[in-house]
Amino acid sequence: MDKHHLQKSLEKSKAELWMFYEIGNLMRTTLKLDEVLYIILTCVTSHEGLGFNRAMLFLVNERKRTLMGKMGIGPDTAEQADKVWRKIEAEKTTLKDLIKAYKTFAKRKGMRLDKLIKSIKVPLRESAGILALTVLEGMTFEITTDEVSKKVKDPICALLKTEHFVTVPLKAKDKTIGVILVDNMFTKEPITKDDIRILTMFANQAGLAIENSHLYEKTVSLSHSDSLTNLINHGRFQYLLSRELKNAAKFKKPLSLIMIDIDNFKKFNDSLGHPAGDKSLTSIAKILKKTCRSTDIIARYGGEEFVVVLPETTKESAWGLAERLRQGVEKIDFSEPKAQPHKKLTISLGLASFPEDAKDKETLISKADSALYQAKVAGKNRTHIYSAAIERRQ
């Protein structure tokens, strides 16, 4: 190699190292998964990054043995691509500027490509196509010529309307956790071996960033969870209720709160011991999760008490859910029902609603608690709705 070529090679290596250094710094600016994924794909598509037209990211769901589409970045049409690239050039937009645009991207809920990617689920089996094989084999797939492209019959690639593309595995600790798919759909520029080499190096860096984000989110989740029931804990409940009440007030929507207490739980614990008591708590938590909607907030309030926050729910609708919860618990077949009255473990529930019963968090909790107290006094294993008349009798 002559001096000129050596100098050129050194300059290229230096530029690559500087790019990876900059990208590494950007990926360390957050631990929130969606932001990390946005940074990764922006680096893959930016003119200051790897410069591909489109980039799509999928993550492995180990429990479901499925590859889930998480995010896609890139123009939807050639006209849009030309418009975006002209604007970037005219405004001299940097990679850091593009990263700062995350909030705008999130607010718009992505673009057409992003919505399409989020709808994709690929089973992790060999017959499921190239994305699945990228995970199962842990290797890069290069579909970069017309000859190879014609042989590929992949439904996901057809859906994405991509002919020449590359898939690279995202790895962390020798385990494949996802896949990045890239193409040059609009410029039609060939994807070279050098492009693939740099993309593979980048994917290793990205895989570690995603793994760190997973660990962070797991730690945050544990700090917000009750260790026995895996429900939200008391502190997190207080925060979420405040947030939901603000939203309810802002958008003039109803909100209901259900306080729940296990009947005669002390007797149950004293008769059968704490292990049996813990088992009953986890069983009831499962009933709550199974019966409530995905939008509802379920928490262990403390001891044998639970609480459910129901956004955008009137008192009448909340009462119907409360009764389903009560009946669901009543049907549980506990191993030692003789320790309880009527040979069953039951719950009492109190219900109050925003804005008719209370307009702030503390008052709403107090009103629901008052209704719960009346349910206990009235004989247990029942739901009581808060009313001012009931409170005056306490």
> What tens digit of pLDDT does each residue of 23-59 get?
888 888 888 999 999 999 999 999 888 999 999 999 9
Q: For residue 9, what pLDDT is reported?
A: 66
13 pLDDT higher than 90: no
Q: Which residues are catalytic?
A: 304
Q: What residue ranges define each of the domains in the chain, with the CATH number in brackets?
A: 3-219 (3.30.450.40), 234-392 (3.30.70.270)
Alpha-carbon gap, residue 136 to 127, rounded angstroms:
11
For Cα atoms 139, 144, 150, give the angle at the middle one, nearest 5 degrees.
105
Backbone angles phi, psi at 30, to 5 degrees: -150, 160
CA distance 390 to 314: 19
Looking at the predicted structure, is the pLDDT value of residue 378 above 90? yes
* Gyration radius of the chain's alpha carbons: 28
Angstrom CA distances, 149 to 135, 162, 313, stand at 20, 9, 52
Q: Which two tokens stand for residue 103?
A: 């909030």
Q: pTM of the predicted model, to two decimals?
A: 0.70
According to DSSP, the β-strands at 383-385 and 347-354 are parallel
- Scan for tokens 């929130």, then name that residue: 32
Are β-strands 297-302 and 255-262 bridged in parallel, bridged antiparallel, or unpaired? Answer: unpaired
pLDDT band at 338 (very low <50, low <70, confident <90, very high): low
| Rounded-to-integer distance, Cα 371 and Cα 260, Å | 10
Average pLDDT for the chain:
89
Tokens of 263: 């009947």
Share of the chain above pLDDT 70, in %: 92
pLDDT tens by residue, 178-212:
999 999 999 999 999 999 999 999 999 999 999 99
Rounded to a whole number, what is the largest CA-CA distance in the chain?
A: 97
3-state secondary structure 15-52: HHHHHHHHHHHHHCCCCCHHHHHHHHHHHHHCCCCCCC
**Mind listing the pLDDT tens digit for each residue in 160-185?**
999 899 999 999 988 999 999 999 99
CA–CA separation, 334 vs 142, rounded Å? 57
In tens, the pLDDT along 216-269 reads: 888 888 888 998 999 999 999 999 999 999 999 999 999 999 999 999 888 887
Residue-level pLDDT at 391: 59
